[in-house]
Amino acid sequence: MNCQKIVNVIALASGAVSIAVVGSGLFVFVNRDSIIDSVKQQATEAIMGSLGGLGGASLPTGSNDLPSLGATPSAAPTAAPSLQTSL
């Protein structure tokens, strides 16, 4: 009789764990869109905070970003001199 009580307690604990796992899985499944949006928002805030207070400044694109420093293309490169080999 004593062994039956132990088996019943183990069975109830197993059932409770199973219900908890299924319930948490359903919770995540139902709320997955809001969870993803929350993670995206937190990641965006973390990235913007790590930029060191640039505020709303835009990042350089590489085209005409430094006109005052003379970042214009120079003349076309000249052809390389030909090498002559003797036999």
Q: What is the pLDDT of residues 5-24, one digit of tens each?
A: 999 999 999 999 999 999 99
- CA torsion sign for 51, 52, 58, 62 is negative
Entry pTM: 0.45
Q: What is the pLDDT of residues 71-83, one digit of tens each?
A: 555 555 566 666 6
- What is the rounded CA–CA span in Å between residue 10 and residue 16? 10
